[in-house]
Amino acid sequence: MSSFRYLCHFETENGDRFFANCTSTRPVIGALVDAYSTYEDLDQGQNATTATIAKLLPPLPKTNIPIYCVGLNYRSHAKEANLNVPANPPVWTKPPAALASPNEVIPISRFCASHLPDWEGELVFVTSRECRDVTPEEASKYILGYAIGNDLSCRFFQLPEQSGGQFFYAKAFDKFAPIGPVLVSPDVFTKERASATLVTRVNGKVKQDTVIGKDMIFPPERVLSWMSQSTTIPAHTVVMTGTPAGVGIFQKPRQLLKDGDQIEIEISGLGALKNGEARLDFGESKDLV
């Protein structure tokens, strides 16, 4: 049994950071909650205080380890990309600096903005403890909870002639992994998981809409098992499990992110992750390609 139902990580007005066990998938800014300065304190139910939520943060016990990502994990996306379904989950990572918070405006530099920036609504899970060589049957014991993520990508750098087929560079830019708004315990999400839908809206218009269980190829347990073969996966590792059809690059006509776009990704049982996009001038930016 998990020590939380809806794990929230937040900041107060004076910048202090706390964890809380919220009552729903929609933490309320301005709410006064029982708060813990560390996830370990919340897990053990000790050293509680009260604090007011001023700003949501990624609902993760740790934010200093790489984020794992999975590609081609939805039949609909493989079809729209005209790619074959692989025998095993394609896996790569994003660096910790890619993390971004719920409601955060994502800074897209001129360099990124000019190289086909795109969205990817995704189901995310987080590991509960260190693991290695786990089987799919064992994997559920190592999942701490589920959340929503956006695997933001610069599609230009995914082109084979640009990267040789690897995805890391296209997806590893700062703030290219918003996650939230809460981490939902498996005990709670299991009631929704079989029929859970994923819907991505850009400026209020639906772009992605699927039933996860019917469209996803490799479920979280299979993904974690594959990742962990001969590889130590740290406790509290974030895993983004892939995206369905409806990304911008395959819209007709093609649609890519632009200044001021608003993205909302909703997964039933997990809430809604909202972010805005903004191109910021970080000084002179030369086109490298």
CATH number at residue 132: 3.90.850.10
Residue 220 placed within a domain: yes
Does one domain contain both 147 and 271?
yes
pLDDT surpassing 90 at residue 226: yes
Residue 286 within a domain = no
Is 287 within the bounds of a domain?
no
**Same domain, yes or no: 50 and 73:** no
Residue 196 lies in a domain: yes
- Check pLDDT > 60 for residue 289: no
- Span 219-246, average pLDDT: 98
277: confidence class by pLDDT, cuts 50, 70, 90: confident
Cis (ω within 30 of 0) for the bond into 102? Answer: no
Residues 40 and 121 placed together within one structural domain of the fold: no
Question: Residue 280's pLDDT is what?
Answer: 55
Lowest model confidence (mean pLDDT) among 82-86, 100-104, 125-129, 135-139: 82-86
Do 141 and 252 reside in the same domain of the chain?
Answer: yes
Measuring CA to CA, which residue among 199, 210, 222 is closest to residue 274? 199
pLDDT of residue 284: 43
| Residue span of the structural domain in which 160 resides | 67-281
Residue 267 to residues 99, 164, 272, Cα–Cα distance (Å): 19, 33, 7
Domain contains 289: no
If asked whether residues 262 and 174 sit together in one domain, one would say yes
Same domain, 48 and 103: no
Does 86 fall in a domain? yes
Please indicate, yes or no, whether residues 87 and 183 belong to a single structural domain of this protein.
yes
82 and 211 housed in the same domain: yes
Number of domains in the chain: 2
**Residue 62 located in a structural domain:** no
Is the pLDDT at 3 greater than 70? The verdict is yes
Share of the chain above pLDDT 90, in %: 91
pLDDT above 70 for 65: yes
Q: What angle do CA 271, 177, 153 make, to 5 degrees?
A: 115
Residue 153 belongs to a domain? yes
What mean pLDDT comes out for the span 70-85? 96
217-230: average pLDDT: 98
Per-residue pLDDT reduced to its tens digit, 19-61: 999 999 999 999 999 999 999 999 999 999 999 999 999 999 9
Give pLDDT tens digits for 164-188.
Answer: 878 999 999 999 999 999 999 999 9
**109-113, Cβ contacts within 8 angstroms, sequence gap of 24 or more:** 109/173, 109/279, 109/280, 109/281, 109/282, 109/285, 110/279, 110/281, 110/282, 110/285, 111/285, 111/287, 111/288, 112/154, 112/173, 113/257, 113/258, 113/259, 113/279
Mark whether 19 and 153 lie in a shared domain.
no
Q: Looking at 57, 79, 100, which one is the last position of a domain?
A: 57
What is the structure's pLDDT at 279?
66
Same domain for 88 and 50: no
Q: For all residues of the chain together, what is the average pLDDT?
A: 94
The pTM for the full model equals 0.95
Q: Are 28 and 77 members of one domain?
A: no
Residues 76 and 153 occupy one common structural domain: yes
